[in-house]
């Protein structure tokens, strides 16, 4: 017996199959990328690990993206009399579709553990499992998904260099790569941007960063709505602190409305692994990476739309 379907039902079924939909973000795969970066050792500019991190990113995204742009530049640090050789890496997907979205993370790590509880460790560089590797890990797996499932809009994944070189007590020499990028855009100007930083914390908590809310309140709401729809209580419905991060360079120097997803209390208010030698992979989790990656996927593929 052959079942006959009404023409209207067949039309609706075809329409549903053609509509945009999200894809499952694999937190375990992202965590593997986090671990790979940490296995390279410290990745502050000038280190062997820094060069290896650039090679890892390049090797991963080059066969996946429509285009890859390397923005090479130098930055002179007067207090140390050293010239940093830096590179921003930009991977573009669906570059002809327009309405470009930038998703960024920094791949460098801090050259000094100045917040370490042990004073003897404070001149040593850090592994940066959360502060650096976590955001990059999400972007690397996202590159795989964007390749397998072309997005409905242009997406640029930007790996910023030189974000964390600065010194305590001053904002000098932070966000070097994103500032250079914003002042010398190597791609068509994105209409909006999302920066992910310190999002691997096993005790993940993402409040609404204040500068993000001022810059792009609509996007902060959309991301929060997606998270709540997914049941991700890691996204908090409250204003957090003002964070000086790569998104500010995009806002100030390129006029790109931008949002920063960041858990600055790492892991919580009473304990700190940020800018210490304790920022290691065991403090991070695949679950946290999945939460961030899935929210980004849902936003890219339009799951926030009613």
Q: Which residues contact 114 (CB under 8 A, 6 or more apart)?
A: 122, 167, 168, 275
Task: Give the H/E segment covering residue 92.
Answer: strand 82-93
Q: What is the DSSP letter of 130?
A: I
pTM greater than 0.75: yes
**pLDDT given for residue 16 in this prediction:** 39
Q: Does the residue 155 lie in any domain?
A: yes
In a domain, 56, yes or no: yes
Residue 104 has what pLDDT? 98
**What's residue 50's pLDDT?**
98
Could you give the 3-state DSSP secondary structure of residue 87? strand
**Cβ–Cβ contacts within 10 Å for residue 62, how many?**
13
| Rounded Cα distance, 90 and 165, in Å | 20
Residue 233 belongs to some domain of the structure: yes
DSSP code of 267? B
Residue 13, domain member (yes or no)? no
pLDDT at 181: 98
Would you say 122 and 113 are in contact if contact means Cβ atoms under 8 Å apart? yes
Determine the structural domain holding residue 79 and report its residue range.
22-300
Domain count for the chain: 1
> For residue range 10-42, what is the model confidence (pLDDT) as tens digits?
334 333 333 345 689 999 999 999 999 999 999
Residue 283 within a domain: yes
Residue 151 maps to a domain? yes
Q: Tell me the pLDDT tens digit for each residue of 201-229.
A: 999 999 999 999 999 999 999 999 999 99
Domain containing residue 226: CATH number: 3.40.630.10
> CA triplet 269, 275, 279: central angle to 5 degrees?
80
Asked whether the predicted pLDDT for residue 9 surpasses 90, the reply is no
Does the pLDDT at position 306 exceed 60?
A: no
Pairwise CA distance, residues 182 & 189, whole Å:
9
3-state SS, one letter per residue, for 138-150: HHHHHHHHHHHCC
Residues 6+ apart with CB under 8 A from 247: 104, 178, 193, 195, 209, 211, 212, 215, 258, 259, 260
Give the chain's mean pLDDT. Answer: 93
What residues contact residue 194 under an 8 Å CB cut-off, 6+ apart? 101, 102, 103, 104, 219, 223, 258, 259, 260, 261, 296, 299
What is residue 23's predicted lDDT score, i.e. its pLDDT?
Answer: 84
pLDDT (tens digit, 9 = 90+) per residue, 120-177?
A: 999 999 999 999 999 999 999 999 999 999 999 999 999 999 999 999 889 999 999 9
Q: Is 254 helix (H, G, I), strand (E, B) or coil?
A: helix
Give 238-286 pLDDT, tens digit per residue. Answer: 999 999 999 999 999 999 999 999 999 999 999 999 999 999 999 999 9
pLDDT of residue 303: 61
Distance CA 141, CA 204 (A): 19
């Amino acid at each position: 017996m052959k079942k006959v379907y009404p023409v209207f039902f067949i039309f609706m079924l075809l329409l549903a199959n053609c509509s945009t939909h999200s894809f499952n973000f694999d937190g375990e795969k992202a965590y593997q990328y986090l671990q790979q970066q940490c296995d390279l050792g410290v990745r502050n500019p000038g280190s062997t690990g820094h060069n290896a991190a650039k090679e890892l990113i390049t090797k991963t995204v080059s066969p996946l993206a429509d285009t890859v742009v390397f923005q090479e530049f130098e930055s002179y640090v007067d207090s140390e009399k050293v010239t940093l050789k830096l590179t921003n890496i930009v991977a573009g997907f669906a570059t002809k579709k327009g309405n470009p979205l930038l998703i960024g993370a920094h791949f460098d790590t801090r050259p000094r553990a100045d917040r370490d509880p042990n004073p003897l460790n404070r001149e040593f560089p850090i592994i940066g499992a959360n502060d650096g590797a976590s955001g990059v890990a999400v972007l690397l797996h996202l590159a795989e998904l964007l390749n397998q499932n072309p997005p409905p809009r242009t997406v640029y994944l930007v790996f910023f260099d030189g974000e964390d070189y600065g010194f305590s007590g001053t904002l000098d020499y932070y966000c070097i790569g994103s500032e250079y990028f914003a002042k010398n855009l190597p791609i068509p100007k994105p209409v909006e941007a999302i920066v992910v930083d310190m999002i691997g914390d096993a005790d993940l908590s993402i409040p609404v960063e204040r500068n993000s809310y001022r810059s792009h309140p609509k996007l902060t709401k959309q991301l929060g709505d997606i998270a709540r729809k997914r049941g991700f209580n890691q996204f908090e419905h409250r204003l957090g602190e003002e964070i000086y991060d790569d998104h500010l360079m995009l806002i100030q120097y390129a006029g790109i409305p931008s949002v920063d997803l960041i858990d600055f209390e790492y892991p919580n208010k009473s304990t700190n692994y940020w800018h210490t030698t304790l920022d290691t992979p065991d403090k991070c989790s695949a679950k946290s990476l999945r939460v961030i990656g899935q929210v980004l996927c849902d936003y890219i593929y339009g799951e926030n739309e009613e």
